[in-house]
Amino acid sequence: MFEAIKSAWALFLGLAFIMLGNGLQGSLVAVRAQFEVFNTSTIGVVMAGYFVGFFLGSVLVPRLVARVGHVRVFGALASLASFGVLVYPIFVDPITWFLIRVLTGICYAGLYIICESWLNDRATNETRGQLLSIYMIISLLGMAGGQYLLNLYSPADFQLFTIVSVLISLSVVPVLVSAARVPEFEAPETMGPIRLYKASPLGVVSMMLVGMGAGVIMGMGPSYAYQQGLTVAEVSIFMSAIFIGGFLFTWPIGKLSDLMDRRTVIVITAGAAVAIGGVGATFGSENKVLVFIIVGITGGVTFPIYSLAIAHTNDFLSTKQMVAASSALVMTNGLGAMLGPNIGAGAMEAFGPEGFYIAIAGIHIAMAGFALWRMTRRSAPPTEEQSAFVAVPRTTPVAAAMSPEYEHPEDEMEPEDQDLEVSDDLPETHDETASAEDTKGHADGKP
């Protein structure tokens, strides 16, 4: 582990600055929007802008990096992101803020992609898993730590926006100084949505729904907390509890999923999200300690589903297909995240602040119901044949491609192994969506 950190400490330092800035900025914009008396629906649209931009950036930036190069694109995106955050206190207008959120999402997607590309280039088959775990820790704790910076100055003033700008600017220094060798870059392959759905319907649907849930939680969480009468300092604790809960719950839930049918674990975690959503909607404003506990558990049971959905999908794929499939899953998650803040805002308009938890519960009712239905359609692969659970940061397809479970260039794949077809080495299914190609390998009676 020490050698892995030593090989990429500067990249991790730059990523920590990026995560701190992103964590602070998300909550700051939402709280400042409350100060400016934007209505809840407007706040939902503004907060969704980041996820729109992030999705666009995940598609566009890899092509730009392939044409122009890592260093130039990283510098340009960092400058734009640093500039964009300074516009908020100057032009207090929902349309302007939405456009800046879109720009910010594009920039952050690009910054993550380039950092992850450099990190992946530093990794070997022996250190890749360690580097990914460290990155996961920095992602969650960096986002959590950024919430506490909200207490340095009043969100009604300009200073916090300047701090975000400074953090983004600081991230450039260690990243570019450490990037002595620029890696070759290829945009991650992706698998068509229909083919991916045929391979794992639950994986695709879960990723869409978990994206919606994350959009509700991260997009509307600060507004919910503010509307419940929490102070700015308490809003920072509220939001950090989400990421700390995700950090504490991800690995235990992941290890459980290695021991049993992952669909059962998805049902359990989604059911827990429904239950805690019901508690939050009913008792979430009774006392502040309870507010923090409820939202911490909410983050704890919802965040791991992202990695569970990827692991479940991988159970029905060969290793050579996993990078393409994970890229498609991350993009699916991004589509869901674009919808999440508006779903949360709509529920809060209809039911009051409690609509925040009602939206979370409703999304996970749909997830649990679909998972239970899928369990009636085909049998699960034996647990000993499941791929190992890997905690994956909720960033870009490049991070998903870092998983040590996947085949990488140093694995020396043969050219004939590069084709993408749904793996035959699966239990026979009884799914009406399975094509003839999906089941042609079962005629010899193999399980």
Q: Model confidence over 232-268: pLDDT tens digits?
A: 999 999 999 999 999 999 999 988 988 888 999 999 9
Q: Is residue 440 part of a domain?
A: no
Q: Is residue 444 part of a domain?
A: no
User: What is the per-residue pLDDT for 425?
Assistant: 39
Number of domains in the chain: 1
User: What is the per-residue pLDDT for 402?
Assistant: 67
User: What is the per-residue pLDDT for 29?
Assistant: 96
56-84 pLDDT, tens per residue?
998 888 888 888 888 888 889 999 999 99
Q: Is residue 133 part of a domain?
A: yes
Q: Is residue 425 part of a domain?
A: no
Range of the domain at 40: 8-173+186-395+402-407
119-132 pLDDT, tens per residue?
877 777 667 777 88
User: What is the per-residue pLDDT for 430?
Assistant: 41
Q: Is residue 436 part of a domain?
A: no
For residue 380, what is the domain's CATH number?
Answer: 1.20.1250.20
> pLDDT category, 412, cuts 50, 70, 90?
very low
Residues 140-163, mean pLDDT to the nearest whole number? 95
Q: Is residue 419 part of a domain?
A: no
What pTM value is reported for the model? 0.84
pLDDT at 278 over 90: yes
User: What is the per-residue pLDDT for 439?
Assistant: 38
Share above pLDDT 90 across residues of the chain, in percent, rounded to a whole number: 53
User: What is the per-residue pLDDT for 431?
Assistant: 45
303-314 pLDDT, tens per residue?
999 989 988 888
pLDDT at 5 over 60: yes
Q: Is residue 434 part of a domain?
A: no
Q: Is residue 305 part of a domain?
A: yes
> pLDDT category, 190, cuts 50, 70, 90?
low
Report the 3 state secondary structure along the chain.
CHHHHHHHHHHHHHHHHHHHHHHHHHHHHHHHHHHCCCCHHHHHHHHHHHHHHHHHHHHHHHHHHHHHCHHHHHHHHHHHHHHHHCCCCCCCCHHHHHHHHHHHHHHHHHHHHHHHHHHHHHCCCCCHHHHHHHHHHHHHHHHHHHHHHHHCCCCCCCHHHHHHHHHHHHHHHHHHHHCCCCCCCCCCCCCCHHHHHHHCHHHHHHHHHHHHHHHHHHHHHHHHHHHCCCCHHHHHHHHHHHHHHHHHHHHHHHHHHCCCCHHHHHHHHHHHHHHHHHHHHHHCCCCHHHHHHHHHHHHHHHCHHHHHHHHHHHCCCCHHHHHHHHHHHHHHHHHHHHHHHHHHHHHHHHHCCCHHHHHHHHHHHHHHHHHHHHHCCECCCCHHHCCCCCCCCCCCHHHHCCCCCCCCHHHCCCHHHHCCCCCCCCCCECCCCCCHHHHHHHCCCCC
Residues 47-53, mean pLDDT to the nearest whole number? 95
